[in-house]
Structure 1
Amino acid sequence: MEMEPTKVQSEGGLNVTLTIRLLMHGKEVGSIIGKKGETVKKMREESGARINISEGNCPERIVTITGPTDTIFKAFAMIAYKFEEDIINSMSNSQATSKPPVTLRLVVPASQCGSLIGKGGSKIKEMRESTGAQVQVAGDMLPNSTERAVTISGTPEAIIQCVKQICVVMLESPPKGATIPYRPKPASTPVIFSGGQAYTIQGQYAIPHPDLTKLHQLAMQQTPFTPLGQTTPAFPGLDASPPASTHELTIPNDLIGCIIGRQGTKINEIRQMSGAQIKIANAMEGSSERQITITGTPANISLAQYLINARFRDVAAMWNDPSSMTTS
Protein backbone atom coordinates (compact mmCIF):
# COMPACT_ATOMS: atom_id res chain seq x y z
CA MET A 1 0.00 0.00 0.00
CA GLU A 2 1.32 3.44 -0.85
CA MET A 3 1.77 5.93 1.92
CA GLU A 4 1.10 9.61 1.49
CA PRO A 5 4.30 11.54 1.97
CA THR A 6 2.69 13.67 4.70
CA LYS A 7 2.30 10.72 7.05
CA VAL A 8 5.26 10.14 9.28
CA GLN A 9 6.32 6.60 10.05
CA SER A 10 6.78 6.52 13.82
CA GLU A 11 7.37 3.93 16.49
CA GLY A 12 4.51 1.45 16.59
CA GLY A 13 3.34 1.83 13.01
CA LEU A 14 1.62 4.70 11.27
CA ASN A 15 1.49 8.03 12.96
CA VAL A 16 -2.28 8.20 13.06
CA THR A 17 -4.57 10.13 15.35
CA LEU A 18 -5.86 8.15 18.28
CA THR A 19 -7.88 8.81 21.44
CA ILE A 20 -6.99 7.12 24.70
CA ARG A 21 -9.11 7.47 27.84
CA LEU A 22 -7.75 7.22 31.36
CA LEU A 23 -9.69 6.78 34.59
CA MET A 24 -8.21 8.73 37.50
CA HIS A 25 -9.04 9.45 41.10
CA GLY A 26 -9.55 13.05 42.17
CA LYS A 27 -6.13 13.24 43.80
CA GLU A 28 -4.39 12.02 40.63
CA VAL A 29 -6.35 14.52 38.54
CA GLY A 30 -5.29 17.30 40.90
CA SER A 31 -1.68 16.30 40.40
CA ILE A 32 -2.06 16.35 36.59
CA ILE A 33 -3.80 19.74 36.60
CA GLY A 34 -1.28 21.31 38.98
CA LYS A 35 -1.47 24.73 40.63
CA LYS A 36 -3.71 27.00 38.54
CA GLY A 37 -3.63 24.41 35.74
CA GLU A 38 0.11 24.89 35.12
CA THR A 39 1.03 21.19 34.94
CA VAL A 40 -1.62 20.19 32.40
CA LYS A 41 -0.85 23.33 30.34
CA LYS A 42 2.82 22.34 30.20
CA MET A 43 1.89 18.74 29.28
CA ARG A 44 -0.34 19.98 26.44
CA GLU A 45 2.35 22.30 25.10
CA GLU A 46 5.26 19.88 25.34
CA SER A 47 3.48 16.77 24.07
CA GLY A 48 1.34 18.42 21.39
CA ALA A 49 -1.56 16.15 22.42
CA ARG A 50 -5.04 17.37 23.37
CA ILE A 51 -5.65 16.55 27.04
CA ASN A 52 -9.22 16.94 28.31
CA ILE A 53 -10.43 16.28 31.84
CA SER A 54 -14.09 15.43 32.50
CA GLU A 55 -16.10 17.88 34.57
CA GLY A 56 -18.03 17.19 37.71
CA ASN A 57 -17.33 16.67 41.38
CA CYS A 58 -16.90 12.93 40.97
CA PRO A 59 -14.48 10.80 42.95
CA GLU A 60 -13.33 9.54 39.54
CA ARG A 61 -12.66 11.58 36.40
CA ILE A 62 -11.91 10.67 32.79
CA VAL A 63 -8.79 12.13 31.21
CA THR A 64 -8.94 11.98 27.40
CA ILE A 65 -5.73 12.21 25.40
CA THR A 66 -6.07 12.75 21.65
CA GLY A 67 -3.48 13.28 18.95
CA PRO A 68 -1.05 11.57 16.61
CA THR A 69 0.42 8.49 18.31
CA ASP A 70 3.82 10.10 19.02
CA THR A 71 2.17 13.02 20.87
CA ILE A 72 0.09 10.53 22.89
CA PHE A 73 3.23 8.64 23.93
CA LYS A 74 4.85 11.93 25.06
CA ALA A 75 1.75 12.86 27.08
CA PHE A 76 1.70 9.40 28.69
CA ALA A 77 5.39 9.66 29.53
CA MET A 78 4.80 13.00 31.24
CA ILE A 79 1.86 11.63 33.22
CA ALA A 80 3.77 8.48 34.25
CA TYR A 81 6.82 10.52 35.38
CA LYS A 82 4.55 12.95 37.27
CA PHE A 83 2.93 10.06 39.13
CA GLU A 84 6.37 8.65 39.93
CA GLU A 85 7.39 12.03 41.32
CA ASP A 86 4.24 12.02 43.50
CA ILE A 87 5.14 8.55 44.79
CA ILE A 88 8.71 9.65 45.63
CA ASN A 89 7.39 12.77 47.39
CA SER A 90 4.89 10.78 49.42
CA MET A 91 7.63 8.30 50.37
CA SER A 92 9.90 10.99 51.74
CA ASN A 93 7.25 11.54 54.41
CA SER A 94 6.79 7.85 55.20
CA GLN A 95 8.81 4.90 56.47
CA ALA A 96 8.27 2.81 53.32
CA THR A 97 11.48 1.49 51.83
CA SER A 98 10.39 -0.16 48.57
CA LYS A 99 9.00 2.14 45.91
CA PRO A 100 5.48 1.18 44.80
CA PRO A 101 4.92 1.03 41.02
CA VAL A 102 3.21 3.76 39.01
CA THR A 103 -0.32 2.67 38.07
CA LEU A 104 -2.48 3.96 35.21
CA ARG A 105 -6.00 2.81 34.35
CA LEU A 106 -7.04 2.96 30.71
CA VAL A 107 -10.69 2.74 29.70
CA VAL A 108 -11.00 0.54 26.61
CA PRO A 109 -14.11 -0.50 24.62
CA ALA A 110 -14.92 -4.08 25.65
CA SER A 111 -14.99 -5.09 21.96
CA GLN A 112 -11.23 -4.40 21.78
CA CYS A 113 -10.31 -6.21 24.99
CA GLY A 114 -10.29 -9.63 23.33
CA SER A 115 -7.52 -8.46 20.98
CA LEU A 116 -5.56 -7.03 23.93
CA ILE A 117 -5.78 -10.34 25.79
CA GLY A 118 -5.12 -12.49 22.71
CA LYS A 119 -5.95 -16.17 22.20
CA GLY A 120 -5.61 -17.92 25.54
CA GLY A 121 -4.05 -14.76 27.01
CA SER A 122 -1.11 -14.86 24.58
CA LYS A 123 -1.06 -11.15 23.70
CA ILE A 124 -1.29 -9.85 27.25
CA LYS A 125 1.41 -12.33 28.34
CA GLU A 126 3.67 -11.11 25.54
CA MET A 127 3.08 -7.48 26.63
CA ARG A 128 3.94 -8.28 30.24
CA GLU A 129 7.09 -10.12 29.24
CA SER A 130 8.37 -7.64 26.66
CA THR A 131 7.70 -4.47 28.70
CA GLY A 132 8.04 -5.63 32.31
CA ALA A 133 4.77 -3.88 33.16
CA GLN A 134 1.87 -5.59 34.90
CA VAL A 135 -1.25 -5.46 32.70
CA GLN A 136 -4.72 -6.50 33.82
CA VAL A 137 -8.01 -6.32 31.92
CA ALA A 138 -11.07 -6.09 34.21
CA GLY A 139 -13.51 -8.99 33.89
CA ASP A 140 -16.55 -6.73 34.16
CA MET A 141 -17.57 -3.69 32.19
CA LEU A 142 -17.60 -0.37 34.00
CA PRO A 143 -21.12 0.58 35.22
CA ASN A 144 -23.61 1.65 32.52
CA SER A 145 -21.03 1.39 29.73
CA THR A 146 -19.50 -1.05 27.26
CA GLU A 147 -15.97 -0.22 28.40
CA ARG A 148 -13.53 -2.06 30.61
CA ALA A 149 -10.70 -0.83 32.78
CA VAL A 150 -7.19 -1.93 31.76
CA THR A 151 -4.75 -1.41 34.62
CA ILE A 152 -1.04 -0.99 33.83
CA SER A 153 1.55 -0.74 36.57
CA GLY A 154 5.32 -0.67 36.64
CA THR A 155 8.13 1.82 36.13
CA PRO A 156 7.32 4.84 33.93
CA GLU A 157 9.53 3.34 31.17
CA ALA A 158 7.68 0.00 31.29
CA ILE A 159 4.31 1.79 31.23
CA ILE A 160 5.26 3.87 28.17
CA GLN A 161 6.39 0.75 26.26
CA CYS A 162 3.20 -1.02 27.27
CA VAL A 163 0.95 1.88 26.17
CA LYS A 164 2.72 1.86 22.77
CA GLN A 165 1.88 -1.82 22.33
CA ILE A 166 -1.72 -1.29 23.45
CA CYS A 167 -2.08 1.57 20.93
CA VAL A 168 -0.85 -0.69 18.14
CA VAL A 169 -3.42 -3.37 19.06
CA MET A 170 -6.21 -0.77 19.27
CA LEU A 171 -5.30 0.57 15.83
CA GLU A 172 -5.15 -2.91 14.32
CA SER A 173 -8.54 -3.95 15.74
CA PRO A 174 -10.91 -0.99 15.97
CA PRO A 175 -13.98 -1.26 18.24
CA LYS A 176 -16.94 -3.22 16.85
CA GLY A 177 -20.41 -1.71 17.07
CA ALA A 178 -21.29 1.34 19.12
CA THR A 179 -19.39 1.99 22.34
CA ILE A 180 -21.25 3.34 25.35
CA PRO A 181 -18.56 5.35 27.12
CA TYR A 182 -18.12 5.11 30.87
CA ARG A 183 -19.17 8.26 32.71
CA PRO A 184 -18.14 8.40 36.36
CA LYS A 185 -20.99 8.99 38.79
CA PRO A 186 -20.93 12.04 41.04
CA ALA A 187 -20.07 11.36 44.67
CA SER A 188 -23.23 9.85 46.08
CA THR A 189 -25.58 12.68 46.91
CA PRO A 190 -28.08 12.45 49.76
CA VAL A 191 -31.67 11.97 48.65
CA ILE A 192 -34.59 13.59 50.44
CA PHE A 193 -38.31 13.19 49.80
CA SER A 194 -40.75 15.99 50.31
CA GLY A 195 -44.38 16.18 49.26
CA GLY A 196 -44.03 13.05 47.12
CA GLN A 197 -41.05 14.52 45.22
CA ALA A 198 -37.49 13.23 45.37
CA TYR A 199 -34.63 15.73 45.58
CA THR A 200 -30.87 15.29 45.53
CA ILE A 201 -28.74 17.67 47.54
CA GLN A 202 -26.09 19.52 45.55
CA GLY A 203 -24.16 22.06 47.56
CA GLN A 204 -26.79 24.20 49.27
CA TYR A 205 -29.62 23.35 46.87
CA ALA A 206 -32.16 20.57 46.65
CA ILE A 207 -32.53 19.60 42.97
CA PRO A 208 -35.76 17.77 41.95
CA HIS A 209 -34.94 14.31 40.61
CA PRO A 210 -37.66 13.03 38.22
CA ASP A 211 -36.35 9.42 37.94
CA LEU A 212 -36.22 8.95 41.69
CA THR A 213 -39.61 10.65 42.07
CA LYS A 214 -41.10 8.10 39.66
CA LEU A 215 -39.47 5.24 41.57
CA HIS A 216 -40.64 6.76 44.82
CA GLN A 217 -44.25 6.91 43.57
CA LEU A 218 -44.02 3.30 42.38
CA ALA A 219 -42.62 2.30 45.74
CA MET A 220 -45.53 4.05 47.46
CA GLN A 221 -48.05 1.97 45.47
CA GLN A 222 -46.18 -1.28 45.98
CA THR A 223 -45.12 -1.37 49.61
CA PRO A 224 -47.84 -0.32 52.01
CA PHE A 225 -45.66 -1.05 55.05
CA THR A 226 -45.70 0.90 58.27
CA PRO A 227 -42.39 1.63 59.99
CA LEU A 228 -42.13 0.04 63.41
CA GLY A 229 -43.95 1.85 66.18
CA GLN A 230 -45.90 4.09 63.81
CA THR A 231 -49.61 3.60 63.42
CA THR A 232 -50.31 6.62 61.25
CA PRO A 233 -49.64 6.27 57.51
CA ALA A 234 -45.96 6.94 56.96
CA PHE A 235 -46.35 9.55 54.25
CA PRO A 236 -48.77 12.36 55.03
CA GLY A 237 -47.24 15.58 53.57
CA LEU A 238 -43.79 14.24 54.24
CA ASP A 239 -41.44 16.93 55.46
CA ALA A 240 -37.81 16.98 54.33
CA SER A 241 -36.37 15.19 57.32
CA PRO A 242 -38.70 12.85 59.18
CA PRO A 243 -36.97 10.92 61.97
CA ALA A 244 -34.84 8.04 60.79
CA SER A 245 -36.31 4.62 61.42
CA THR A 246 -35.07 1.08 60.90
CA HIS A 247 -36.61 -1.83 59.06
CA GLU A 248 -35.33 -5.41 59.04
CA LEU A 249 -35.68 -8.09 56.38
CA THR A 250 -34.49 -11.67 56.29
CA ILE A 251 -33.33 -13.06 52.99
CA PRO A 252 -32.38 -16.65 52.11
CA ASN A 253 -28.59 -17.14 51.79
CA ASP A 254 -28.84 -18.37 48.22
CA LEU A 255 -30.55 -15.14 47.14
CA ILE A 256 -28.25 -12.69 48.91
CA GLY A 257 -25.79 -12.71 45.99
CA CYS A 258 -28.29 -11.22 43.58
CA ILE A 259 -28.96 -8.33 45.99
CA ILE A 260 -25.26 -7.64 46.59
CA GLY A 261 -24.18 -8.03 42.95
CA ARG A 262 -20.61 -8.43 41.71
CA GLN A 263 -18.25 -6.67 44.14
CA GLY A 264 -21.24 -5.00 45.77
CA THR A 265 -22.40 -3.14 42.65
CA LYS A 266 -26.13 -3.85 43.07
CA ILE A 267 -26.35 -3.10 46.78
CA ASN A 268 -24.40 0.15 46.26
CA GLU A 269 -26.79 1.11 43.48
CA ILE A 270 -29.75 0.46 45.80
CA ARG A 271 -28.08 2.50 48.58
CA GLN A 272 -27.43 5.37 46.20
CA MET A 273 -30.90 5.43 44.65
CA SER A 274 -32.83 5.04 47.89
CA GLY A 275 -30.64 7.21 50.09
CA ALA A 276 -31.06 4.56 52.83
CA GLN A 277 -28.29 2.88 54.79
CA ILE A 278 -28.36 -0.87 54.18
CA LYS A 279 -26.40 -3.31 56.31
CA ILE A 280 -26.20 -7.01 55.52
CA ALA A 281 -25.34 -9.20 58.48
CA ASN A 282 -22.69 -11.89 58.11
CA ALA A 283 -23.91 -15.44 57.55
CA MET A 284 -24.62 -17.20 60.83
CA GLU A 285 -23.57 -20.81 61.17
CA GLY A 286 -26.44 -23.21 60.74
CA SER A 287 -28.75 -20.47 59.48
CA SER A 288 -30.03 -20.43 55.93
CA GLU A 289 -30.99 -16.75 56.13
CA ARG A 290 -29.27 -13.39 56.32
CA GLN A 291 -30.53 -10.31 58.12
CA ILE A 292 -30.71 -7.00 56.20
CA THR A 293 -31.14 -3.79 58.20
CA ILE A 294 -32.38 -0.70 56.35
CA THR A 295 -32.09 2.66 58.10
CA GLY A 296 -33.34 6.03 56.90
CA THR A 297 -36.48 8.08 56.54
CA PRO A 298 -39.68 6.10 55.88
CA ALA A 299 -39.48 7.17 52.23
CA ASN A 300 -35.85 6.02 51.91
CA ILE A 301 -36.71 2.69 53.50
CA SER A 302 -39.71 2.00 51.28
CA LEU A 303 -37.69 2.90 48.20
CA ALA A 304 -34.87 0.56 49.27
CA GLN A 305 -37.40 -2.22 49.86
CA TYR A 306 -38.99 -1.61 46.50
CA LEU A 307 -35.59 -1.79 44.76
CA ILE A 308 -34.68 -5.01 46.61
CA ASN A 309 -38.02 -6.58 45.63
CA ALA A 310 -37.58 -5.43 42.04
CA ARG A 311 -34.16 -7.08 42.03
CA PHE A 312 -35.75 -10.38 43.16
CA ARG A 313 -38.36 -10.09 40.40
CA ASP A 314 -35.63 -9.56 37.78
CA VAL A 315 -33.71 -12.59 39.00
CA ALA A 316 -36.83 -14.77 39.22
CA ALA A 317 -37.77 -13.76 35.68
CA MET A 318 -34.29 -14.73 34.56
CA TRP A 319 -34.52 -18.15 36.17
CA ASN A 320 -37.86 -18.76 34.48
CA ASP A 321 -36.50 -17.57 31.15
CA PRO A 322 -32.88 -18.69 30.70
CA SER A 323 -32.62 -16.84 27.36
CA SER A 324 -32.58 -13.53 29.26
CA MET A 325 -29.66 -14.58 31.45
CA THR A 326 -27.25 -12.16 29.78
CA THR A 327 -29.18 -9.06 30.83
CA SER A 328 -28.43 -9.15 34.54
Structure 2
Amino acid sequence: MSKSEAQISAKLRQSYENDLQAMAPQTMMFPGLHPMAMMATAGIGYGSRGLYAGQAPYPGMYPAGAPSGAGDSQETTFLYIPNNAVGAIIGTKGSHIRNIIRFSGASVKIAPLDESKPQDTQTERKVTIVGSPEAQWKAQYLIFEKMREEGFVAGSDDVRLTVEIMVPSSQVGRIIGKGGQNVRELQRVTGSVIKLPEQGSSPQEDETIVHIIGPFFSVQSAQRRIRAMVLQSVVPPQGRQRGRRSSKEHGEPSETLPQPQP
Protein backbone atom coordinates (compact mmCIF):
# COMPACT_ATOMS: atom_id res chain seq x y z
CA MET A 1 0.00 0.00 0.00
CA SER A 2 1.39 3.41 -0.98
CA LYS A 3 1.77 6.23 1.51
CA SER A 4 -1.12 8.21 -0.03
CA GLU A 5 -3.42 5.18 0.09
CA ALA A 6 -2.51 4.60 3.73
CA GLN A 7 -3.30 8.24 4.55
CA ILE A 8 -6.69 8.03 2.79
CA SER A 9 -7.46 4.78 4.59
CA ALA A 10 -6.55 6.32 7.94
CA LYS A 11 -8.75 9.36 7.25
CA LEU A 12 -11.69 7.17 6.28
CA ARG A 13 -11.26 5.10 9.41
CA GLN A 14 -11.08 8.23 11.58
CA SER A 15 -14.21 9.65 9.92
CA TYR A 16 -16.01 6.36 10.46
CA GLU A 17 -15.05 6.29 14.15
CA ASN A 18 -16.15 9.93 14.53
CA ASP A 19 -19.51 9.06 12.97
CA LEU A 20 -19.99 6.20 15.43
CA GLN A 21 -19.10 8.46 18.36
CA ALA A 22 -21.60 11.03 17.14
CA MET A 23 -24.24 8.31 16.99
CA ALA A 24 -23.54 7.08 20.54
CA PRO A 25 -26.07 9.35 22.31
CA GLN A 26 -28.81 8.24 19.90
CA THR A 27 -28.02 4.55 20.34
CA MET A 28 -28.96 4.85 24.00
CA MET A 29 -32.49 5.51 22.76
CA PHE A 30 -32.44 2.33 20.68
CA PRO A 31 -30.83 -0.46 22.77
CA GLY A 32 -29.94 -3.60 20.87
CA LEU A 33 -29.69 -1.81 17.52
CA HIS A 34 -26.37 -1.47 15.70
CA PRO A 35 -25.57 2.19 14.84
CA MET A 36 -24.92 1.28 11.22
CA ALA A 37 -28.61 0.43 10.77
CA MET A 38 -29.45 4.06 11.52
CA MET A 39 -26.66 5.33 9.30
CA ALA A 40 -27.87 3.15 6.42
CA THR A 41 -31.10 5.18 6.21
CA ALA A 42 -29.50 8.52 7.06
CA GLY A 43 -29.83 9.96 3.56
CA ILE A 44 -33.46 8.96 3.07
CA GLY A 45 -36.38 11.21 3.91
CA TYR A 46 -36.49 11.68 7.67
CA GLY A 47 -32.68 11.78 7.82
CA SER A 48 -32.61 14.90 5.65
CA ARG A 49 -35.06 16.57 8.05
CA GLY A 50 -32.74 16.78 11.00
CA LEU A 51 -32.31 13.83 13.36
CA TYR A 52 -29.87 11.86 11.21
CA ALA A 53 -29.06 14.46 8.57
CA GLY A 54 -26.65 13.66 5.76
CA GLN A 55 -25.85 10.73 3.54
CA ALA A 56 -24.57 7.39 4.74
CA PRO A 57 -20.82 8.00 5.01
CA TYR A 58 -19.40 5.29 2.77
CA PRO A 59 -21.65 3.51 0.26
CA GLY A 60 -21.13 -0.23 0.40
CA MET A 61 -19.90 -0.25 3.99
CA TYR A 62 -23.29 -1.49 5.11
CA PRO A 63 -24.69 -3.37 2.09
CA ALA A 64 -28.42 -3.57 1.47
CA GLY A 65 -30.04 -6.81 2.52
CA ALA A 66 -27.06 -7.85 4.64
CA PRO A 67 -27.23 -5.92 7.91
CA SER A 68 -24.57 -6.41 10.52
CA GLY A 69 -27.17 -7.98 12.77
CA ALA A 70 -28.25 -10.59 10.23
CA GLY A 71 -27.29 -13.28 12.71
CA ASP A 72 -29.40 -11.77 15.48
CA SER A 73 -32.58 -13.41 16.66
CA GLN A 74 -35.56 -12.76 14.43
CA GLU A 75 -38.26 -10.42 15.68
CA THR A 76 -41.86 -10.16 14.52
CA THR A 77 -43.60 -6.79 14.40
CA PHE A 78 -47.07 -5.87 13.19
CA LEU A 79 -47.50 -2.45 11.59
CA TYR A 80 -50.91 -1.04 10.64
CA ILE A 81 -51.26 1.19 7.59
CA PRO A 82 -54.37 2.92 6.18
CA ASN A 83 -56.16 0.76 3.64
CA ASN A 84 -55.81 3.47 0.99
CA ALA A 85 -52.01 3.44 1.44
CA VAL A 86 -51.58 -0.22 0.47
CA GLY A 87 -51.16 0.53 -3.23
CA ALA A 88 -48.36 3.02 -2.56
CA ILE A 89 -46.51 0.59 -0.27
CA ILE A 90 -46.79 -2.26 -2.78
CA GLY A 91 -45.92 -0.11 -5.81
CA THR A 92 -46.41 -0.85 -9.49
CA LYS A 93 -46.43 -4.63 -9.94
CA GLY A 94 -45.01 -4.97 -6.43
CA SER A 95 -41.88 -2.95 -7.20
CA HIS A 96 -41.80 -0.85 -4.02
CA ILE A 97 -42.41 -3.63 -1.52
CA ARG A 98 -39.73 -5.70 -3.28
CA ASN A 99 -37.31 -2.81 -2.82
CA ILE A 100 -38.19 -2.61 0.88
CA ILE A 101 -37.53 -6.34 1.27
CA ARG A 102 -34.28 -6.18 -0.71
CA PHE A 103 -32.91 -3.14 1.13
CA SER A 104 -33.95 -4.20 4.63
CA GLY A 105 -33.40 -7.95 4.45
CA ALA A 106 -36.70 -8.41 6.30
CA SER A 107 -39.79 -10.39 5.33
CA VAL A 108 -42.64 -7.93 4.68
CA LYS A 109 -46.17 -9.19 4.07
CA ILE A 110 -49.40 -7.20 3.81
CA ALA A 111 -52.52 -9.05 4.93
CA PRO A 112 -55.40 -9.20 2.41
CA LEU A 113 -58.83 -7.79 3.16
CA ASP A 114 -61.01 -9.96 5.35
CA GLU A 115 -63.65 -11.31 2.98
CA SER A 116 -66.02 -11.97 5.87
CA LYS A 117 -66.27 -8.23 6.64
CA PRO A 118 -67.60 -5.34 4.51
CA GLN A 119 -64.74 -3.57 2.72
CA ASP A 120 -65.88 -0.10 3.78
CA THR A 121 -65.47 -1.06 7.45
CA GLN A 122 -61.84 -2.15 7.01
CA THR A 123 -59.83 1.03 7.37
CA GLU A 124 -56.42 -0.53 8.12
CA ARG A 125 -54.26 -3.36 6.83
CA LYS A 126 -51.86 -5.40 8.91
CA VAL A 127 -48.23 -5.54 7.75
CA THR A 128 -46.18 -8.38 9.23
CA ILE A 129 -42.43 -7.68 9.39
CA VAL A 130 -40.00 -10.43 10.38
CA GLY A 131 -36.27 -9.82 10.72
CA SER A 132 -33.35 -8.79 12.91
CA PRO A 133 -33.45 -5.48 14.82
CA GLU A 134 -31.53 -3.82 11.97
CA ALA A 135 -33.90 -5.26 9.35
CA GLN A 136 -36.88 -4.09 11.41
CA TRP A 137 -35.49 -0.55 11.57
CA LYS A 138 -34.98 -0.35 7.81
CA ALA A 139 -38.28 -1.91 6.75
CA GLN A 140 -40.37 0.17 9.15
CA TYR A 141 -38.44 3.31 8.23
CA LEU A 142 -39.14 2.86 4.53
CA ILE A 143 -42.85 2.28 5.15
CA PHE A 144 -43.15 5.42 7.31
CA GLU A 145 -41.16 7.41 4.75
CA LYS A 146 -43.28 6.21 1.81
CA MET A 147 -46.40 7.26 3.72
CA ARG A 148 -44.90 10.73 4.19
CA GLU A 149 -43.88 11.00 0.54
CA GLU A 150 -47.37 10.07 -0.61
CA GLY A 151 -48.94 12.84 1.46
CA PHE A 152 -50.69 10.83 4.16
CA VAL A 153 -49.90 13.64 6.61
CA ALA A 154 -50.52 17.37 6.42
CA GLY A 155 -47.62 19.77 6.02
CA SER A 156 -44.56 18.96 8.09
CA ASP A 157 -46.39 16.66 10.52
CA ASP A 158 -44.87 13.26 11.14
CA VAL A 159 -46.59 10.06 10.07
CA ARG A 160 -48.09 8.34 13.12
CA LEU A 161 -48.81 4.62 12.89
CA THR A 162 -49.72 1.82 15.25
CA VAL A 163 -47.15 -0.92 15.87
CA GLU A 164 -47.72 -4.13 17.79
CA ILE A 165 -45.11 -6.40 19.36
CA MET A 166 -45.60 -9.54 21.41
CA VAL A 167 -44.09 -9.95 24.87
CA PRO A 168 -44.29 -12.84 27.35
CA SER A 169 -47.42 -12.38 29.46
CA SER A 170 -45.27 -12.96 32.55
CA GLN A 171 -43.36 -9.73 31.73
CA VAL A 172 -46.36 -7.40 31.40
CA GLY A 173 -46.20 -6.41 35.07
CA ARG A 174 -42.50 -5.58 34.75
CA ILE A 175 -43.15 -3.35 31.73
CA ILE A 176 -46.05 -1.56 33.44
CA GLY A 177 -44.22 -1.18 36.76
CA LYS A 178 -45.59 -0.36 40.19
CA GLY A 179 -48.57 1.92 39.77
CA GLY A 180 -47.78 2.19 36.06
CA GLN A 181 -44.52 4.08 36.67
CA ASN A 182 -42.44 2.11 34.13
CA VAL A 183 -44.85 2.50 31.23
CA ARG A 184 -45.35 6.19 32.01
CA GLU A 185 -41.59 6.71 31.94
CA LEU A 186 -41.35 4.80 28.65
CA GLN A 187 -43.99 7.07 27.14
CA ARG A 188 -42.25 10.18 28.45
CA VAL A 189 -38.80 9.19 27.16
CA THR A 190 -39.91 7.85 23.77
CA GLY A 191 -42.78 10.22 23.01
CA SER A 192 -45.04 7.33 22.00
CA VAL A 193 -48.36 6.07 23.31
CA ILE A 194 -48.01 2.57 24.82
CA LYS A 195 -51.05 0.44 25.62
CA LEU A 196 -51.03 -2.82 27.57
CA PRO A 197 -53.72 -4.80 29.40
CA GLU A 198 -54.51 -3.46 32.84
CA GLN A 199 -52.19 -4.79 35.53
CA GLY A 200 -53.84 -7.56 37.50
CA SER A 201 -55.92 -8.89 34.63
CA SER A 202 -55.27 -12.59 34.09
CA PRO A 203 -53.56 -13.29 30.72
CA GLN A 204 -55.36 -15.65 28.37
CA GLU A 205 -52.28 -16.52 26.30
CA ASP A 206 -48.55 -17.05 26.83
CA GLU A 207 -47.87 -13.79 24.97
CA THR A 208 -49.49 -10.38 25.24
CA ILE A 209 -49.78 -7.67 22.58
CA VAL A 210 -48.19 -4.29 23.28
CA HIS A 211 -49.68 -1.45 21.21
CA ILE A 212 -47.30 1.41 20.38
CA ILE A 213 -48.54 4.53 18.60
CA GLY A 214 -46.45 7.42 17.32
CA PRO A 215 -44.02 8.68 14.67
CA PHE A 216 -41.16 6.50 13.46
CA PHE A 217 -38.37 7.36 15.90
CA SER A 218 -40.75 7.27 18.87
CA VAL A 219 -42.14 3.82 18.12
CA GLN A 220 -38.66 2.50 17.31
CA SER A 221 -37.31 3.69 20.64
CA ALA A 222 -40.27 2.15 22.47
CA GLN A 223 -39.86 -1.17 20.65
CA ARG A 224 -36.16 -1.41 21.40
CA ARG A 225 -36.55 -0.44 25.06
CA ILE A 226 -39.39 -2.87 25.69
CA ARG A 227 -37.56 -5.71 23.95
CA ALA A 228 -34.43 -4.89 25.99
CA MET A 229 -36.44 -5.05 29.23
CA VAL A 230 -37.79 -8.47 28.27
CA LEU A 231 -34.35 -9.72 27.24
CA GLN A 232 -32.77 -8.58 30.51
CA SER A 233 -35.32 -10.56 32.48
CA VAL A 234 -34.82 -13.71 30.40
CA VAL A 235 -31.01 -13.71 29.97
CA PRO A 236 -28.96 -13.21 33.18
CA PRO A 237 -26.06 -10.72 32.91
CA GLN A 238 -22.81 -12.39 31.82
CA GLY A 239 -20.98 -11.12 34.86
CA ARG A 240 -23.47 -12.84 37.15
CA GLN A 241 -23.08 -16.10 35.24
CA ARG A 242 -19.29 -15.90 35.42
CA GLY A 243 -19.47 -15.18 39.15
CA ARG A 244 -21.57 -18.25 39.77
CA ARG A 245 -19.27 -20.47 37.71
CA SER A 246 -16.20 -19.12 39.50
CA SER A 247 -17.73 -19.80 42.91
CA LYS A 248 -18.60 -23.35 41.97
CA GLU A 249 -15.15 -24.00 40.50
CA HIS A 250 -13.48 -22.93 43.76
CA GLY A 251 -15.94 -24.76 45.97
CA GLU A 252 -17.20 -21.51 47.47
CA PRO A 253 -20.83 -20.71 48.15
CA SER A 254 -22.28 -18.66 45.32
CA GLU A 255 -23.64 -15.25 46.18
CA THR A 256 -27.23 -14.56 45.25
CA LEU A 257 -27.43 -11.15 43.64
CA PRO A 258 -30.58 -9.07 44.07
CA GLN A 259 -32.97 -9.17 41.13
CA PRO A 260 -34.32 -5.98 39.57
CA GLN A 261 -37.69 -5.04 40.99
CA PRO A 262 -40.57 -4.70 38.55
For Structure 1 versus Structure 2, the TM-score category normalised by the shorter chain is 0.3 to 0.5
Higher helix proportion, which one? Answer: 2
Higher relative contact order (CA 8 A, sep 6+): 2
Q: Which has the larger radius of gyration?
A: 1
TM-score, reference length from structure 1: 0.39
TM-score, reference length from structure 2: 0.47
